[in-house]
């Protein structure tokens, strides 16, 4: 923060000049002091207004948005720290993203001119970095519910991510003060993108108690009740511009197909995603209407992704039912490994691994969400040019 020095000067008043002159001189000094104090207040106000007013992002999510947190969770089984993750991002090395290139949040941020926030657990994260770029709390395997993804051992649930954000606000308040921190947080963009793990790695797995404690309708209601509490906590912590990403047709990810008896999409999972999106849309509309000074929005790309999966050739894809990175006939391979075989053209595959979309599919999903949220440039039919550090690298020949 720049400091402004205000110098108050006045001519020395001599008592010998008489009472009249002394009175004028004293009055002059009082006026000088008053104007100087007023100037001080103005300058202090300018300083507060000007403190790090850059708009940043705070991202809460799962493996679809994780940019490295799980790499620092040494006991976590949900990892993207081996080749060939990140092969089309920067130098082509694993960076914690569960895809070959960019996440949807990466692409939306690039399109809107916002910096890419680093992972919360990144050792280089400091107060200055937060003020410049924001923070990404997303964690592979995380869910809206604390119990989701328990067999991954370590992961950040949404409740945990919110707890970490609370600590971030306290850190920034200690640096800037409450008024400037409130302004900084209030102008930031918040992204909340979780929910699929609550189904795939919880409710739809018999090993979890939620699978027999609830039915489809009551489980979605349970998720919405929890999500509402979480969003209200974020609002109380200063979030004013918040977007919730909906779910895609999760019954059509390669893992769900290979676990089915027919190799087709699992329609129950897809119907649950549709129910989640409908309920979340209503929840966000309600919060948006009643929370003061807040813009809480919901958007999903379910329909367009479903159409891509069913008609991939119409969108420039050749494959929409199997992963680009796999162990061939050994399926499901729950992660991409150095021993895996890569498809010959990664841009032609909708899915990168058994769970996650490819960079090309993420671009398509991001374009749809950009339209839904009404961002500038969202109506362009052509995809925005990737940032230099995420340019797509040539695909190796298939082994």
Q: Which residues are catalytic?
A: 63, 353, 356
Rounded CA separation 13/11 (Å): 6
Rounded CA separation 162/68 (Å): 17
101 to 16, 57, 154, 204, 370: CA distances (angstroms): 82, 20, 24, 29, 19
Rounded CA separation 99/288 (Å): 32
Rounded CA separation 82/93 (Å): 8
Of the chain, the end-to-end C-alpha distance in Å amounts to 56
Contacts of 81 (CB under 8 A, 6+ apart): 70, 71, 94, 96
Crossing angle of helices 302-310/359-373, nearest 10°? 140
Instruction: Spell 94-129 as b/e; 16+ CB within 10 A means b.
Output: bbbbbbbbbbbbbbbbbbbebebbbbbbbeebeeeb
Alpha helical stretches, state H, the chain:
19-50, 104-111, 127-133, 158-176, 178-187, 196-198, 210-213, 216-236, 254-259, 267-290, 302-310, 359-373
Whose tokens are 């690039």? That residue is 110
């Amino acid at each position: 923060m720049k400091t402004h020095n205000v110098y108050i000067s006045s001519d020395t008043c001599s008592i010998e000049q008489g009472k009249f002159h002394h009175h004028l001189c004293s009055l002059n000094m009082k006026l000088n002091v008053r104007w100087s104090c007023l100037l001080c207040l103005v300058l202090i106000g300018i300083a507060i207004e000007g403190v790090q007013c850059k708009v940043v992002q705070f991202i809460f999510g799962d493996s679809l948005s994780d940019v490295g947190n799980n790499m620092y969770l040494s006991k976590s089984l949900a990892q993207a720290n081996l080749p060939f993750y990140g092969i089309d991002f920067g130098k082509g090395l694993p960076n914690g993203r569960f895809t070959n290139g960019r996440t949807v949040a990466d692409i939306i941020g690039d399109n809107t001119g916002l910096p890419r926030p680093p992972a919360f657990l990144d050792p280089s994260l400091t107060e200055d970095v937060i003020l410049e770029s924001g923070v990404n709390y997303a964690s592979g395997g995380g869910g809206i519910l604390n119990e989701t993804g328990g067999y991954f051992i370590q992961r950040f649930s949404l409740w945990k991510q919110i707890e970490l954000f609370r600590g971030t606000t306290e850190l920034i308040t200690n640096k800037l003060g409450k008024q400037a921190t409130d302004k900084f947080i209030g102008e930031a963009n918040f992204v909340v993108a979780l929910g699929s793990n609550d189904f795939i790695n919880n409710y739809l797995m018999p090993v979890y108690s939620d699978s027999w404690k609830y039915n489809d309708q009551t489980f979605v209601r349970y998720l919405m009740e929890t999500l509402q509490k979480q969003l209200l906590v974020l609002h109380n912590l200063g979030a004013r511009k918040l977007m919730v990403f909906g779910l895609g047709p999760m019954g059509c990810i390669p893992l769900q197909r290979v676990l089915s008896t027919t190799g087709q999409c699992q329609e129950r999972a897809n119907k649950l995603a549709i129910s989640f999106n409908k309920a979340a849309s209503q929840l966000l509309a309600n919060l948006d209407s009643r929370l003061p000074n807040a813009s809480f929005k919901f958007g999903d790309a379910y329909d367009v992704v479903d159409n891509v999966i069913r008609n991939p050739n119409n969108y420039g894809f050749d494959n929409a039912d199997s992963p680009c990175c796999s162990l061939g006939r050994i399926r499901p391979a729950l992660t991409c490994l150095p021993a895996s075989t890569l498809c010959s053209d990664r841009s032609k595959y909708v899915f990168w691994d058994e769970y996650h979309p490819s960079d090309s599919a993420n671009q398509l999903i991001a374009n749809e969400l950009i339209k839904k949220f009404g961002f500038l440039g969202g109506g362009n039919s052509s995809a925005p040019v990737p940032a230099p550090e995420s340019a797509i690298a040539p695909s190796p020949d298939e082994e």
